[in-house]
Structure 1
Amino acid sequence: MWRSVQRWRGLVIIGAMAAVTLWLAASGQLALYIHPRYNLFTVLMAIIAVVLVVGALVGRRHHDDEDAPPPPRRSRAIALTAAAIAGVFTIGMVVVPPATLSTATAEQRAINASAASDAEAFEAATTADAEQVARFTVREWATILRQTSDLSFFADKPVTELVGFVTPDTSDPDNVFYVSRFTVTCCAVDAQPLGVPVYLPGWSDEFAVDDWVSIDGEFGSNPSSDSDQPVVILPAEVTPIELPREPYLF
């Protein structure tokens, strides 16, 4: 039995993980794990892995060490444990539905810790016309708020259909929440949370943490004396929405 485990475990694990990768790509869920720019490369590597695994299975021949004594018990235990962990991980990728990163991760990584202090982006936002402003996402607004809290800057720059998930403001969770998104550079491991504060007293009566919403409104001085955010969105409308097809910002 040990010889069989040794012989097939690597091929089975590689084949299973490659098949799961192809399944995620076919179902449109690969973007929940990696940046879309790497999709083609990842899919090609998975296809190559499947081809090589099939070729290895077809071409298997008798091993010269068939009658050799098995390795020490400790080595076998380590090898079996590693194979079991890899197997459980692979099965879990199929059985457990892929999920987006949420508030729990955002709180661990600190919202807006990675918001860019980008002078060029700020200058572009200063001269943006109404059509461009209407396309601003959480990333653009978070960058702007990092640069300035001057309310005159936000005049004639309304918030239009700003999409994100609900994350409580730690300094005043009763009245203020963030509309949040994760930005991804390579994969979900390096995802960083960005958020724009929204003043809506009693928001938790209407929305749950991690609910996805679309917000229309305008920026203004924060009425909350407890919140650390000087400028917030004063919403005209907060609409619950379904999870976007691409929940991350790339």
Structure 2
Amino acid sequence: MLSLIGTAATLWLALTGKLELYIHPRYVPFTVSMALLAAAVSIAGFIMRQERSEDPGHPDAGVPVPGRLRAAGSLLMVTAAVLGLLILPPSPLTAEAANHRDLNRSGTLSRHQTSDLLRNDPGTFTLRDWASLLRYSPDASYFADKKPTVTGFITADPQDPTNVFYVTRFVVSCCTVDAQPVGVPVRAPGWQTQFKTGNWVAATGGFGPNPNPESTNPILLTDAQITPTTEPERPYLH
């Protein structure tokens, strides 16, 4: 029963496009195939068990029905599975999860991949690309005439939470278990009066030097136009 519930949940998530909230899109076909295979095996196993129990000569024939306690436990497990997999709506990782993971570490591109970006059109860059460039900062002059728009949810800068926040998103390589946050720092003194941590925003601005000498972010978005926005249908970067 649990296997069939899991299969139903997987197929429902795939049909509604929500399975990508748990795994990378490239693994969706494989996951759906394995779910269907598991369902077929479960059904075949149930049929074989029924046939054995109806065979008078089989050792399992005549075995008493499980007691009330075992039945209640099974019902509780099935109820929990239905509630968790089929009723409660799936939700993406939040700013709270980002605060417990290292920002702009394993989620950014490698130094070599970031160097390759310099040959590409900045108009095609994602938030992850900009976060990678800021991490490896090829040269301050590179950012002089750039004015990107980045979209993500707000996480406060732990070094200067009053004046700086990150426009943040998660990068998923395999599944949400390995998801890593990346973000672009935005200088906006007093931002808490207009926004809260976790709010989705679109920020457009130019890059400039960070006036905080103790910050590990020498360059950030300054004088940015910050607009509230809704969470996109696909909140993760891949």
- Name the TM-score class by shorter chain: 0.7 to 0.9
- Structure 1 residues 146 and 83: CA distance shift in structure 2, 3 A: farther
Secondary structure (helix, strand or coil) at the match of 2:51 reads: coil
* Alignment partner, residue 113 of structure 2: 121
Q: Is the 8 A contact 1:172 1:226 kept in 2?
A: no
Structure 2 residue corresponding to 1:173, chosen from 155, 161, 184: 161
Q: Is the 8 A contact 2:188 2:222 kept in 1?
A: yes
TM-score, length basis structure 1:
0.81
- Structure 1 residues 170 and 154: CA distance shift in structure 2, 3 A: same
Structure 2 residue corresponding to 1:95, chosen from 87, 92, 105: 87
TM-score, length basis structure 2:
0.85
Q: Is the 8 A contact 2:2 2:81 kept in 1?
A: no
Secondary structure (helix, strand or coil) at the match of 2:186 reads: strand
- Structure 1 residues 151 and 243: CA distance shift in structure 2, 3 A: same
- Structure 1 residues 85 and 104: CA distance shift in structure 2, 3 A: farther
- Residue segments in structure 2 that go unaligned for 5+ positions in a row: none
Code of the residue aligned with 2:232 in structure 1: it is: P
Q: Aligned pairs, how many?
A: 232
Distance in 2, matches of 1:143 and 1:26, equals 34
How far 1:55 moved relative to its partner?
4.2
- Structure 1 residues 126 and 108: CA distance shift in structure 2, 3 A: same
Distance in 2, matches of 1:172 and 1:138, equals 21
Q: Deviations over 1:147-179 (max 9, x none)?
A: 1274212122221x3111110111111111001
User: Alpha carbon RMSD of aligned pairs, Å?
Assistant: 2.8
Q: Is the 8 A contact 2:207 2:222 kept in 1?
A: yes
How far 1:192 moved relative to its partner?
0.6
Q: Deviations over 1:215-240 (max 9, x none)?
A: 11111111345644221111431111
Q: Is the 8 A contact 2:108 2:182 kept in 1?
A: no
Distance in 1, matches of 2:39 and 2:64, equals 31
Secondary structure (helix, strand or coil) at the match of 2:3 reads: helix
Distance in 1, matches of 2:196 and 2:108, equals 28
Secondary structure (helix, strand or coil) at the match of 1:28 reads: coil
Structure 2 residue corresponding to 1:245, chosen from 214, 233, 236: 233
Alignment of structure 1 residues 99-248 onto 2, 5 Å: 99-116=91-108, 118-128=110-120, 132-148=121-137, 150-159=139-148, 161-224=149-212, 227-248=215-236
Deviating 4+ runs (over 6 angstroms): none
How far 1:84 moved relative to its partner?
4.3
Q: Is the 8 A contact 1:177 1:199 kept in 2?
A: yes
Distance in 2, matches of 1:154 and 1:192, equals 25
- Structure 1 residues 18 and 202: CA distance shift in structure 2, 3 A: same
Code of the residue aligned with 1:14 in structure 2: it is: S
* Alignment partner, residue 51 of structure 2: 61
- Residue segments in structure 1 that go unaligned for 5+ positions in a row: 1-11
Residue 37 of structure 1 pairs with residue 26 of structure 2: yes
Distance in 2, matches of 1:99 and 1:117, equals 26
Percent pairwise identity: 40
Q: Is the 8 A contact 1:34 1:188 kept in 2?
A: yes
Secondary structure (helix, strand or coil) at the match of 1:127 reads: coil
Secondary structure (helix, strand or coil) at the match of 1:48 reads: helix
